Chains A and B, each alone.
Chain A
């Protein structure tokens, strides 16, 4: 397994870091995993709670087909083994956000087995080559409710809306060796989840959270004791948490101490982790198969439908952009990083735009505008069809590159189509040789000094004459024609 160049420099030498990530991803579905209450976000407290979610006496779980389907689709997307037979187990512990006193999860026989995803090389970040990160398993389980502590001086408030929402727990192998690798893994995983449509990957809203397992060791040594930092809700925080925790562990070990296997919390304000305050020893969850549920058995038809329903995934799409469409590797990577971007771009291609030109335009012009306006691509003021029209006007010579930029600005301002703007504002580029020749002659006549210098060898002044000609023609001259005629005029 390749390692990054990341090391912790301790007082006694170098230390390596071993990182595993357990990601909890809320499944996109209408209702919850085992109850028919809604699984959406942001409702009034305890309004998306059925009697099953509230764990009333006598309530029973009934699994949701779509939640299972989404987990299987996700597993297929990471080339994982799909287990035709799996089972639900109860994880028993007491907390106010866990009404049943147990969470229905899958310990012994998860739905999805081993898989992997690939992260790119990033030399600046110390990832010397593309790397495959193993995934040990994906299982489905219930999310817990929410406890709030700031509403009252002596009471905590319990909202069970989230209790019972389906989660996929995606457990990586401890294959990562730097914060950068962990960040890359998370970003890739999130992209895949969004491509598959099984989770919206919104870490700020909590629909995707990471538990970060970190241990350190000297080169060649056995794995050290790991700690688990729970519920980190952004890629940046995950990277910070790893950095802080790894350094903390090195400090402890170099001072002669031992790492306690424990659960920790990350504080985004201070960038540090702290031990979770708890009186009890390590939890004994007493897992056993949930007797209210039978084993989950998937038919081949079910798995096939999941497979067939998957659209092109990021890695395959990126390869196709490069191999088939001829787009540069860098552009392809950026265009396929998010499913919405790829979708927009492919809609643009469908409108007839040429791939390389379209890619360049999206990367520079569209992204530039979206950044400036603070909009996402789904909220782009310009549609793929409109962009396609603009690009066609460049290809057919109506617009020069710089004119196209002007037209695009106006499209953003007014919402009008490129064609309309060109007509209305007379922004066509002209290739009228007669007119251009006349302007060139005028420019040369007005600038005898520079002409003299050019004729004596200062070739860089060619650009000056081009600029003056374009200026005199308000940017509408066809640059290629200007170049050609200017060359003739200068001899």
Chain B
């Protein structure tokens, strides 16, 4: 029998439906994989019993003929989604021990669709980071290693590092991530898997620990494009509890998947060719262009003139929103409370938040507080929101000449843990290709394109028009079929 953990979501779903194996077998196999992979530190909490319970229900449903879209499929859940009666921490000490009495809309949809939960996946604290080095529960380690004998622990990308690591290591067939400035796409690129950030408003934010409200989006990560489409269909949809949710029907993305790009124009934005870009990444980009051409697309050069301002704008807007969103973590109603002797209420706040938040979180809260403060609001925040309008306009103008854009996902392959954590600014530059799309709210996906000279995955990013996830997925599929990416990390854990 095939190693069950080598199966992706579609294969599990269809094989289970066809009677090839029981759901319990699948859940057990993945539970074992999870249990044996503690060295990766991909999970904050493992929930094997919950996975088995869902599997048992799936087996029952199969017998009764009442199968659901994801019956038999166990997945991982990024620990940013509130899960009822299961600890949810956002990888922070300030929420350690917090057990929500409610389920996030997105995770609830997945469980209602029949999926089971293998555990809560580690992440950068409050989704702030690009290497999963800011978690209170320790770094996540990528299953990948350089092929030159170097056993340095590599970053799985961030903030959805637990997700990317777990999928790449076959601990889960697929999982949820969230993307605010690239936190689905960049970890997907670092670990050779696929991930899509949908149009802003496609997935409900209700019950997801908020980082930057105007940017956060939930999305699926899995080993191929079809699996991403399947998961996304079961995550997306209008939620009246989220005022920013889009009241639109969920398209049948999986059914409409097609790698035929005839009639599509692919834009290549010149500003994404940055100084000092590694030659391998440039080469992969060219390769990607060729693949899409081969799939029938026309290639067009376009310009997105304000690209270089996207990162600084993002690092004003996101911290500003975060500084306000994280004000609720104050030790009064839940989470950590640090009450030194003789402390009054305001002292309690200051002590709790000092003890509870990690350094990067504090840094961003301080920046956010500063840029919103009296005297600086116009110069920073208002200016950043205006630049954001210009960035969105750049894309609108590009759409006159093309239907999608192709770029690299990240400016490098996975770096070693600790290599960039001394310089926050260096870390922020990881997001240079992903942030513009976040600011414009557009759908974007990363698919693996190949390996670099050290055997580490490199990803290609497809950006689409608002609400056109289909074209994004289709282009992703076109690349996937041609890239023939079958590399996987050798098991060292």
Q: Which residues on A sit within 8 Å (CB–CB) of B334?
A: 56-57
The answer to the question of B404 belonging to the interface, with a C-beta cut-off of 8 Å to chain A, is no
Contact call B100/A62, Cβ cutoff below 8 A: no
Q: Mark A76-96, 1 if CB is under 8 A from B, else 0.
A: 000000000000001010111
Least Cβ distance of B110 to chain A in Å?
A: 16
Decide if the interface of chain B is mainly helix, strand, loop or mixed: loop
Q: Kindly state the separation between the CA atoms of A158 and B90 in the bound complex, as whole angstroms.
A: 26
Instruction: Report yes or no: A94 in contact with B320, Cβ–Cβ below 8 A.
Output: no
- Shortest CB-to-CB span from A213 to chain B, Å, is 20
Give the residues in chain B near A63, CB-CB below 8 Å. Answer: 243
Whether B82 and A57, one on each chain, are in contact in the complex, defined by CB atoms closer than 8 angstroms, is yes
Q: Which residue of A61, A95, A158 contacts B243 across the interface (Cβ within 8 Å)?
A: A61
Are A284 and B381 in touch, CB under 8 angstroms?
no
Closest to A35 in B: B241
Instruction: State whether the Cβ of A487 lies closer than 8 Å to any Cβ in chain B.
Output: no
Q: Are A58 and B95 in contact (CB under 8 A)?
A: no
The answer on a CB contact under 8 Å between A60 and B242 is yes
The secondary-structure label for the interface of chain A is loop
The answer to whether A96 and B214 touch (CB under 8 A), given A57-B100, A62-B240, A286-B377, is no
Q: Is B327 an interface residue (CB 8 A)?
A: yes
Interface code B84-115, partner A: CB below 8 Å = 1, 0 otherwise?
Answer: 00001010000100101110100000000000
Measured in the bound complex, the distance between the Cα atoms of B99 and A144 in whole Å is 25
Query: Could you write out 21 A-B pairs with CB less than 8 Å apart?
Result: A56-B100, A58-B208, A58-B209, A59-B206, A90-B324, A92-B327, A94-B330, A95-B345, A96-B332, A99-B328, A99-B332, A100-B327, A156-B345, A279-B346, A286-B324, A286-B369, A286-B373, A286-B377, A287-B377, A293-B244, A294-B243
| CB neighbours of A58 from chain B (8 A) | 81-82, 104, 205-210
Query: What residue in chain B is nearest A286 (Cβ atoms)?
Result: B372
Tell me the A residues contacting B by CB distance below 8 Å: 51, 54-63, 90, 92, 94-96, 99-102, 156, 158, 279-280, 284, 286-288, 291-294
Q: What's the minimum C-beta distance from A487 to chain B, rounded to whole angstroms?
A: 82
Contact A291 B346 (CB under 8 A): no
Q: Tell me the nearest residue of chain A to B207, going by C-beta.
A: A58
A294 engages B244 (CB within 8 Å): yes
The yes or no answer to B63 lying at the interface (CB within 8 A) is no
B240: chain A residues at CB < 8 Å are: 62
Q: Which residues from chain A contact B208 at a C-beta distance below 8 Å?
A: 58
| Inter-chain pairs besides A57-B328, A288-B381, A294-B243, 16 sampled, C-beta below 8 Å | A56-B82, A57-B90, A58-B210, A62-B243, A63-B243, A99-B332, A101-B328, A102-B324, A158-B332, A286-B323, A288-B324, A288-B372, A291-B214, A292-B213, A292-B243, A293-B243
Instruction: Assess whether A57 is in contact with B88, with CB atoms less than 8 Å apart.
Output: yes
Tell me whether B56 is interfacial, beta carbon within 8 Å: no
Question: In the complex, which range does the number of interface residues on chain B fall in?
Answer: 35 or more
Q: How far does the Cβ of A249 sit from chain B's closest Cβ, in whole Å?
A: 26
Q: Which single residue of chain A is at the shortest CB-CB distance from B214?
A: A291
Which A residue's beta carbon lies closest to that of B346?
Answer: A94
Residue of B100, B205, B332, B334 most packed against chain A (CB within 10 A): B332
CB <8 Å contact, B98 and A57 = yes
Measured in the bound complex, the distance between the Cα atoms of B348 and A96 in whole Å is 11
Partner of A60, one of B90, B205, B373: B205
Q: Nearest residue in B to A98 (C-beta to C-beta)?
A: B327
By beta carbon, the residue of chain B nearest A94 is: B349
Q: A291 and B374 in contact (CB under 8 A), knowing A62-B243, A92-B327, A94-B349?
A: no
Tell me whether B491 is interfacial, beta carbon within 8 Å: no
Residues from chain A with Cβ under 8 Å of B98 in the complex: 57
In residues 383-416 of chain B, which contact A (Cβ within 8 Å)?
Answer: none
| Minimal Cβ-Cβ distance residue in A for B212 | A291
When C-beta atoms are compared, the residue in chain A nearest to B89 turns out to be: A57
Distance between Cα atoms of A193 and B209 in the complex (Å): 39
Contact check, B324 vs A57: say whether CB atoms are below 8 A apart. Answer: no
The smallest beta-carbon distance between B248 and chain A, in angstroms, is 15
Q: Which of B341-382 contact A (CB under 8 A)?
A: 345-346, 349, 369, 372-374, 377, 381
Give the complex CA separation of A280 and B349 in angstroms: 14
Quick one: closest A residue to B347, CB to CB?
A279
- Asked if A284 and B374 make an inter-chain contact with CB atoms under 8 angstroms apart, the answer reads yes
Contact (A56, B327) CB under 8 Å given A286-B377, A291-B213: no
Q: B321: CB under 8 A from chain A? A: yes
The smallest beta-carbon distance between B287 and chain A, in angstroms, is 38
Provide the residues of chain A in CB contact with B205, threshold 8 Å: 58, 60
Contact of B241 among A56, A60, A96 (CB under 8 A): A60
* Contact present for B206 and A55 (CB under 8 Å): no
Which A residues are in CB contact (< 8 Å) with B328?
A: 55, 57, 99-101
With A60-B206, A99-B328, A100-B328: A55-B241 Cβ-Cβ less than 8 Å: no
Choice from B206, B345, B369, B373 contacting A96 with Cβ under 8 Å: B345
State the CA gap A92–B377 with chains docked (Å).
14
In the complex, chain A residues whose CB is within 8 Å of the CB of B95: 57
